[in-house]
Each structure stands twice: as C-alpha cells, then as structure tokens.
C-alpha cells in the first residue's frame, strides 16, 4: 500500500514539475518583453522566484522517490552485496528520519491545532504564539506567504512516503544478491 501511494504521489509530482518547468520560462519571458516595453511586471519576478522554490522542493521529493540523488559510491562498490544492503538500509533510515523530522518541524511551524484553538483568528493566534507566519505578505504580490510555504509540509509528507517505500523495498530485497535496488526497476514492485 505504501508503494502504491508512493507511485501515485510520484506520478502527480512529475505532472506538477512539468507544469512548473513550462511556467517559469513563460513568466520570465513575459517579464523580459514587458521590460523591453518599459513596463516591468514586478510581481511576476517574485512569482517566478517562488515558483522556482516549489520546483526545487517537489524535485527533491521526486529525487528521493527514484533514488536519483548524487551519491558517492566508492564504499558501496567496494563491499560485498550483504554489506551493500546494510549501507543502503542505513541510508534509507537516515533519509526517512530526515523526512519525518522535516514533517514534524512543519507541523510545529504551521501549528494547525493552535490556529484552530484561536478560532482561526490570525491576530489572536499571533498574539498567543508569536508566530506571524499567517500574516506576513509577499513583497509585491500582496498574498500571505504561508500559501507559498505550504509546499514544505506537502513535500515533507511526500518525501516521508517515498523514503518509507524505499526502505520497504530495501528490506524485501534478498541480502545475498543485493544490487542497487530502485523502486519501479524491473523485478521490484
């Protein structure tokens, strides 16, 4: 079930990534043209930067899903297959711990329980918690920044699912003939 959820989220993330990869150059080109006509669209610059942040965050999750992160394999290439599985297991555990800690920190930062307890009153929430994240506006868009920051708990969740799915794949792989296991690879469900 975790692998199915991870695969679904991975497909969804790739669709969003493709859309963002198209959207960013369009925004930049529109603003370049507007600047050429001496009518720059300042909010478009900020939106392009925020979109690039979304692209990087979602890209991180997809990279974790497919185990495509840059890796130094000097040690893993030099050890026997059983030790290689142990190293992969340790790596998967570290990635899962990072993703879960990221998720917990996002939960604490967004503090949804505190927000609900304040009656969804942003002023009361900020006064009680000294957390002004829901009130801080973007520089030129005038939209509350938290709408853009929502990508962080989303990616923390998806990265946690992908990391858990990778860990389960590693645990299921036989230790004696362990090779580089990748989710979605032939013979791996």
Q: What is the pLDDT of residues 16-48, one digit of tens each?
A: 999 999 999 999 999 999 999 999 898 999 999
Domain spans of the chain, in order of start: 2-172
Centre a 10 Å sphere on the Cβ of residue 99 and count the other Cβ atoms it contains. Answer: 23
What pTM was computed for the model? 0.82
The residue among 93, 171, 70, 177 whose CA lies nearest residue 189 is 171
Contacts of residue 171, Cβ cutoff 8 Å, sequence gap at least 6: 89
Q: Residue 147's pLDDT is what?
A: 94
pLDDT digits (tens, 9 = 90+) for 58-99: 999 999 998 887 777 777 778 888 888 888 899 899 999 999
Among positive and negative, which fits the CA dihedral 140, 122, 149, 131? Answer: positive
Q: Tokens standing for 158? A: 């998806």
Mean pLDDT of the residues in the chain: 88
Give the C-alpha distances (Å, rounded to integers) separating 89 from 37, 58, 166, 171.
57, 24, 9, 7
Residue 148 to residue 121: CA distance in whole angstroms: 20
**3-class secondary-structure state, position 120:** coil
């Amino acid at each position: 079930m975790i692998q199915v959820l991870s695969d679904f989220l991975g497909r969804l993330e790739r669709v969003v990534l493709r859309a963002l990869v198209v959207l960013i150059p369009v925004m930049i080109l529109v603003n370049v043209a507007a600047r050429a006509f001496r009518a720059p669209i300042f909010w478009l610059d900020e939106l392009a930067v925020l979109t690039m942040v979304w692209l990087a965050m979602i890209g991180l999750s997809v990279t974790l899903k497919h185990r495509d992160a840059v890796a130094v394999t000097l040690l893993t290439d030099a050890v026997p297959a059983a030790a290689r599985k142990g190293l992969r297991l340790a790596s998967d555990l570290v990635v899962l711990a990072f993703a879960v800690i990221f998720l917990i920190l996002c939960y604490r930062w967004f503090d949804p329980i505190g927000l609900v307890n304040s009656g969804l009153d942003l002023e009361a929430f900020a006064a009680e918690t000294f957390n002004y994240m829901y009130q801080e506006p973007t520089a030129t868009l005038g939209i509350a920044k938290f709408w853009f920051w929502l990508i962080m708990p989303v990616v923390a969740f998806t990265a946690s699912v992908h990391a858990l799915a990778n860990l389960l794949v590693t645990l299921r792989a036989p230790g004696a003939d362990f090779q580089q296991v990748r989710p979605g690879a032939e013979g791996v469900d």
